[in-house]
Chains A and B, each alone.
Chain A
Amino acid sequence: MTVAITAGVLVAGAVYLFLKREMLRVILGFVLLGHAGNMILMAAGGTSRRAEPFGTPEEPATVADPLPQAFVLTAIVIAFSITIFMLVLSATGTENDDTTDGANDPANGPTDSADGTSQPRPARHGARTEEHP
């Protein structure tokens, strides 16, 4: 139960952060969400009916399940590496860290930047995307 509530609170925090515009907050949201995922994996091993892995009698039914722990270890490594990459992306290419919107949306193509001038910040970047090789 404790694990379930913790996971729920973490997901709620993550969703709150995802709704922010800044890339950095979105990344922090992913840190929370990753932890929520790990909590779910740990709970899948049956934390309520099992004891700690060491120091207890070697009874397979009561010793902590090692498989979810291996899952979590793998998941932590993967989430960590992607978080680093996202931090790099948030620091590269521009002076502010806003996530994209319609004005510099790649799907709209370069011609749409004229429409984007009504929006103060992205318009400047919209103009910059016109540099073709």
Chain B
Amino acid sequence: MIGSLLALLVAVPLVAAGVLMMTGHRPRLHATVLLTILIGSTGSSALLVYAFADGGAVAHGVGSWPFGIAIPFAADMFAALMLTVTGLLAVTCVVFAIASRKASARFFAPLMLVLLAGVNGVLLTADLFNLFVFIEVMLLPSYGLFVLAAQGKAALRQIAGARLYVTLNLLTSTIFLAGVGFIYGTAGTVNLAELAAAAKADDTVAIAVLVCLFALGIKASIVPVHGWLARTYPATSPAITALFSGLHTKVAIYAIYRIYAVVFDGDTRWLWIGVLIFSATMIIGVFGAVGAGTTRSILAFHMVSQIGYILLGVALFTEAGLTAGIFYLLHHMIVKASLFLSTGAIEVRYGTGTIGQLSGIAKREPVIAVAFFIAALSLAGLPPFSGFVAKLSLIIASVDAGQIAAAVVMLLVSLITLLSMLKIWSGVFWGKDEVADGGQLGTAPVLTATREKTQRVGALLAAPAVLLAAITVGFGLGAELLLSLSQTAAAGLADPTAYIEAVINS
């Protein structure tokens, strides 16, 4: 029964997007419908989490075609958790976009809805070719949103970012498509259930799947294919940066987890490559952040570094490692979006996010400052926030798996993370309440013009960042709940029998 409703998570946003397209330019109606559907999607995903509390999985072949012909949708605890958190991020980012007046663009709501349909589809599909299709469904509206909601009048800057973003993603998608072709050629199927453990049994299939994993690795921006992320993400509006950071790379990470668990069946022969690459990702990402000059590019480089942490969970492939990795993934999505939204709120109101052109924001915007401070400490992994639990469990898991070097790298990278969070803190929030001398290049008049008391960050603009910061505190203090949910999800990955059987019997 639940299974046949899974397709609605994709169908409803798609249909609504089409209908909203036809209603013309009605911002209020669009915002209402958009938020209703986003909240509905998040709510029903939360119900799915509740339904999978004891593990298990459901699947449904669309149109009740026999297995192998039908388009399969499948959900288990991991998918449900991801659906819930991506939905939550979409809601908060849309609220931020409305508050920062980026949502009034004519096609914003339809594009957001198609994006939601694509994300839900990627998380639910159990077929590699459909994974490709849904990634494209997710990316096409993203290209539109990237340009539509870009910053102000900085035309070339946004076009340059969008060009890089589109070409990179098209290249990656083509590589992924070629990988799907190789898989079909070697294994004769692209259905995840039929591919179960195929890569472990047959090395040619393994190489074909590795082509797909490589493409997903570019999308997740692991070193050495991470360069695009820090160049494109700061080029659009803060709301969209936060949204993409929570959705796109994380969806690729989800697919890597899922494919490695099901198709490779956790094959231990390849894991050392993962440990090596993901440790390098942590280190190089965080060093990139040390050299970056604006708040958002620092945060984007941190994302690269954190992606190394998240994927280390799958490279350990013990149940503890997977639990820690999934917990880290969920924690990271929330914290990163909170950071992007709190610095974004300042950027929207004060016109710049460049370190050195702002100071003393903490006095003017205590609420935003507290939200940033909490999220930054959580990102660095200090107690009592969720980042501490995530890092601690990941370090314990890697020590248990005998990867002492990876654990040491994690600790060192945490310190450098804290360092560059302090760079934002002292460069933007701390200091005297005045424009620094570096405020040249025509931005100084903008800053002084917005320094009237009435121009502070509004409650609606601050709310998303504060809400997400509150969630990270909640997950830190009440980590037991999310840890047990992550454990259920990890058990489903370590032993994917339930997922595979659900797809076969769909």
B292 in the interface, Cβ–Cβ < 8 Å? yes
B159 in the interface, Cβ–Cβ < 8 Å? yes
- B-chain residues with CB within 8 Å of residue A30 when the two chains form the complex: 167, 170-171, 174
- B-chain residues with CB within 8 Å of residue A34 when the two chains form the complex: 174
B1-41 residues at the A interface, CB under 8 angstroms: none
- B-chain residues with CB within 8 Å of residue A100 when the two chains form the complex: 160-161, 163-164, 231
Nearest first, the 8 A-B pairs at minimum CB distance are A44-B185, A133-B152, A93-B159, A106-B235, A100-B160, A40-B181, A41-B181, A44-B184
B143-170 residues at the A interface, CB under 8 angstroms: 143, 147, 151-164, 166-167, 170
**Interface residue count on the B side (C-beta < 8 Å):** 56
A51-78 residues at the B interface, CB under 8 angstroms: 67-68, 71, 74-75, 78
Extra inter-chain contacts (18) besides given A40-B185, A107-B300, CB under 8 Å: A23-B163, A30-B167, A30-B170, A34-B174, A41-B177, A44-B181, A44-B183, A71-B180, A75-B132, A79-B174, A85-B166, A93-B155, A94-B159, A106-B157, A106-B231, A107-B231, A111-B357, A132-B152
Bitwise, B300-319 to A at CB < 8 A (1) or not (0) is 10000000000000000000
- Tell whether, in the assembled complex, residue B230 and residue A107 are in contact, meaning their CB atoms are under 8 Å apart: yes
B438 in the interface, Cβ–Cβ < 8 Å? yes
A76-133 residues at the B interface, CB under 8 angstroms: 78-79, 81-82, 85-86, 89-90, 92-94, 99-100, 104-113, 125, 128-133
- B-chain residues with CB within 8 Å of residue A85 when the two chains form the complex: 140, 143, 166
- Tell whether, in the assembled complex, residue B182 and residue A44 are in contact, meaning their CB atoms are under 8 Å apart: yes
- Tell whether, in the assembled complex, residue B153 and residue A110 are in contact, meaning their CB atoms are under 8 Å apart: no
A68 to B154, CA, bound (A): 43
A13 in the interface, Cβ–Cβ < 8 Å? no
- Tell whether, in the assembled complex, residue B166 and residue A82 are in contact, meaning their CB atoms are under 8 Å apart: yes
Q: Which residue of B lies closest to A125 (CB)?
A: B156
- Tell whether, in the assembled complex, residue A107 and residue B292 are in contact, meaning their CB atoms are under 8 Å apart: yes
Q: Which residue of A lies closest to B356 (CB)?
A: A111
Interface residues of B (CB under 8 A from A): 129, 132-133, 136, 140, 143, 147, 151-164, 166-167, 170-171, 173-174, 177-178, 180-185, 230-232, 234-235, 292-294, 297, 300, 351-354, 356-357, 438, 441-443, 446
- Tell whether, in the assembled complex, residue B161 and residue A130 are in contact, meaning their CB atoms are under 8 Å apart: no
**Can you offer 11 A-B residue contacts whose CB atoms are under 8 A?**
A33-B174, A37-B178, A43-B185, A45-B184, A45-B185, A68-B181, A86-B166, A94-B159, A99-B164, A100-B160, A107-B294
- A-chain residues with CB within 8 Å of residue B161 when the two chains form the complex: 100, 106
**Given A33-B171, A34-B174, A86-B167, A128 and B156 touching (CB < 8 A)?**
yes
- A-chain residues with CB within 8 Å of residue B185 when the two chains form the complex: 40, 43-46
- Tell whether, in the assembled complex, residue B162 and residue A132 are in contact, meaning their CB atoms are under 8 Å apart: no
Q: Which residue of B lies closest to A33 (CB)?
A: B174
Q: Which residue of A lies closest to B447 (CB)?
A: A132
- Tell whether, in the assembled complex, residue B230 and residue A68 are in contact, meaning their CB atoms are under 8 Å apart: no
Q: Which residue of A lies closest to B143 (CB)?
A: A85
- Tell whether, in the assembled complex, residue A104 and residue B133 are in contact, meaning their CB atoms are under 8 Å apart: no
Q: Which residue of B lies closest to A108 (CB)?
A: B293
**Given A78-B133, A106-B235, A131-B152, A37 and B181 touching (CB < 8 A)?**
yes
Q: Which residue of A lies closest to B235 (CB)?
A: A106
> In the complex, which of the residues B147, B170, B178, B232 contacts A40, with contact meaning CB atoms closer than 8 Å?
B178
**Given A37-B177, A131-B152, A89 and B163 touching (CB < 8 A)?**
yes
Q: Which residue of B lies closest to A11 (CB)?
A: B178
- A-chain residues with CB within 8 Å of residue B182 when the two chains form the complex: 40, 44
- B-chain residues with CB within 8 Å of residue A45 when the two chains form the complex: 184-185
A109 to B291, CA, bound (A): 12
A112 to B157, CA, bound (A): 13
- Tell whether, in the assembled complex, residue A113 and residue B441 are in contact, meaning their CB atoms are under 8 Å apart: yes
- Tell whether, in the assembled complex, residue B156 and residue A78 are in contact, meaning their CB atoms are under 8 Å apart: no
Q: Which residue of A lies closest to B158 (CB)?
A: A93
- A-chain residues with CB within 8 Å of residue B155 when the two chains form the complex: 93-94, 128
A133 to B102, CA, bound (A): 13
Q: Which residue of A lies closest to B211 (CB)?
A: A40
- B-chain residues with CB within 8 Å of residue A23 when the two chains form the complex: 163
- Tell whether, in the assembled complex, residue A78 and residue B136 are in contact, meaning their CB atoms are under 8 Å apart: yes
